[in-house]
Chain A
Amino acid sequence: AQTVTQSQPEMSVQEAETVTLSCTYDTSESDYYLFWYKQPPSRQMILVIRQEAYKQQNATENRFSVNFQKAAKSFSLKISDSQLGDAAMYFCAYNNDYKLSFGAGTTVTVRA
């Protein structure tokens, strides 16, 4: 079974600053997908960024980027130039057969 660990229950960041959310996972597979989802107060799950394990290049989506370390089984999310709208719960997720395993989540608050 795959496990996903997010060790930071809460993170706070000043508006316009950068915050990094950590995520580690455990798997014996070599081919899989990793995701970061955002869940705002509306509770709609929103895909932030995706990384295919076979790709060495770290994924980026505008202000969001990841640091994917396959050997270390680490997949951190960096939010640059934080905005008030980034405040949400963020979940790291692992997928190798379309069944997602989620981490416990990290609540991000953005200070104005």
Chain B
Amino acid sequence: GAVVSQHPSWVICKSGTSVKIECRSLDFQATTMFWYRQFPKQSLMLMATSNEGSKATYEQGVEKDKFLINHASLTLSTLTVTSAHPEDSSFYICSARDLPGLAVGGAGELFFGEGSRLTVL
């Protein structure tokens, strides 16, 4: 159990276009999902926290109009990179946690998607 799936795993787009990445919890209800960005050989940097049915909370320095996050259901969150530019090229990873008190997998644990590699030409 506790599987999180991201799609697409790899996307190439032209500069100026928008790209949507999906994050789905396949076998549990994710009240909260997190989006991270990772550059090669570096750590994961938290971009934003999304709660189902409410607006996402962005970390300092992350442009909310650039990185649109929607968490419309308990199993799906989407990250849209709007008007993408080459500097947005990166590896994006989502993670999710279940409903409070149910603690799938153990208290405090988050479950990660496979990641999505974005290349903007």
Chain B interface residue count, Cβ-Cβ cutoff 8 angstroms? 22
Chain A residue nearest to B32 in the complex (CB): A98
Residues of B within 8 A of A33 (CB): 107-109
Whether A99 contacts B34 by the Cβ 8 Å rule is yes
Q: Which of A13-21, A39-47, A71-79 participates in binding chain B? A: A39-47
B46 touches A100 (CB 8 A): yes
The answer to whether A44 touches B114, judged by C-beta atoms less than 8 angstroms apart, is yes
The answer to whether A107 and B41 have CB atoms under 8 Å apart is yes
Kindly identify which residue among A32, A98, A107 contacts B110, using a CB–CB cutoff of 8 Å: A98
For chain A, the bracket of interface size reads 20 to 34
Assuming the contacts A33-B108, A50-B106, A95-B108, asked whether A105 and B46 have C-beta atoms less than 8 A apart, the reply is no
Contact with B along A21-38 (1 / 0, CB 8 A): 000000000001101000
Interface residues of A in 77-101 (CB under 8 A from B): 89, 91, 95, 98-101
B77 within 8 A of A: no
B110: A residues at CB distance < 8 A:
95, 98, 100
Of B41, B110, B114, most A-chain CB atoms within 10 Å:
B110
Report A's interface with B, CB cutoff 8 A: 32-33, 35, 42-45, 47, 50, 52, 89, 91, 95, 98-105, 107
List residues of chain B with CB under 8 Å of any chain A CB.
Answer: 32, 34, 38, 41-44, 46, 49, 91, 93, 95, 97, 105-110, 112, 114-115
24 contacts across the A-B interface (CB closer than 8 A): A32-B108, A33-B107, A43-B91, A43-B115, A44-B112, A44-B115, A45-B44, A45-B93, A45-B115, A47-B105, A50-B108, A52-B107, A89-B41, A91-B43, A91-B44, A98-B32, A99-B34, A99-B46, A100-B46, A101-B46, A102-B44, A104-B42, A105-B43, A107-B41
